[in-house]
Structure 1
Amino acid sequence: MKVPFSYQKTEFDCGPTSLTNALSFLFDREEIPPEMIRRIMAYCLDGFDGQGHPCRRGTSAAAMRFISSWINGYGESVHFPIKTQFLEADQVHLEADSPILSVLRQGGVAVIRVIYECGHYVLVTGLGEPDRLLVFDGYYEEGRDIEDLVREGIGIIPDQPRRANRLVPISHMNSESTGSYQLGPVPRREAILLSRTDLTFHPL
């Protein structure tokens, strides 16, 4: 059974929220190993804020890279059909030869760091028309905040809780600017691609 995506429980857990939502998109609930959820939650939220408070700087690029590697290793060791790839800097773009667009066309997903006042992870689940990305942002917003997004050209999807709640123009996200849902400066960019390797997989 496919379950609706989750929203963040704090101001800081966009990383693990987006990763677990990626699993929910690719797999039925009965297929997802609980160990994978446990490890994602354990390895994320590794950042410290300026006052030394743990978890209050979200999840670092180093942690996301490690999680991507761990998922690959776990999948191989227990024959769980998942593959990930960590991208950074100039590897993260939405031009014609984008690895992100390629994995989306093949039914995979991408957890991407974008700008949303600060660095923020969202889940991209597919391509919409015309030239837009289906995005699920786990940071719940309503009222005036939603109106501000619409003025920026971001579409709001209210009725697809298992797929997307935003429709973002590809040209908008691909920008080096620092508006909502833009990739921002190239050196700070990062993404994890996730795809299912065996669509005939059934849990034991």
Structure 2
Amino acid sequence: SAFDLLPEDTKADDFFVKSTFSNDRLKGIDPTRALLYQTCEKSGVGITVMKSLGAGQLLSDKTSPFGKGLTVHQLIHYALTRPGVASVLVGCYTKEEVYEAVRYSDISDAEKDYTSILSTTPLYSMKGKCMYCNHCLPCPSEIDIASVTKYLDLALISEDSIPETVTGHYGEMKNTAQDCIECGSCEQNCPFDVPVIENMRKATELFGK
């Protein structure tokens, strides 16, 4: 999550220096990195995330650039909800840490939720940008809002030639953007102030359903 803030030319050794994150220009995910995720997703290329815990720095209030530490499960969930990510590597020193990491599969969505931290730190300003976290649910029309928005974002990268994989996955959805009744409950639930209703309208127009 923290590495996503940094420009593409940042040296690897600087990832673990807290002063690297003191740059006033760091406001949300670096556009080049965001485009990489979307391009990989669009092209069917899986990403494996390394250093998901930031060498442990993201776990501590003292060392996290966000000013508050996240849990192992929150960091795993953040990585897995990025477009294109297929797997996440977690560094462990003991068997207890391994057991704790794999508990990810059994815990509740509330325990995985990272939005309460990332939505309140100025360093991670994502206002208006979907994090694909589905914090906006439940939807009375049972729309998977995160998936619809992800496919919309992927389609907008190359609107003139939308990949068949994107239109295919969207078309297979049980409920699509056209089922939106514009009740606004999703926008009330979203911690990032995403204009969900507007996105549903765009998706309906772009995908035709």
Structure-2-length-normalised TM-score: 0.27
Larger helix share, 1 or 2: 2
Q: Which has the larger radius of gyration?
A: 2
Q: Which has the higher contact order (CA 8 A, sep 6+)?
A: 1
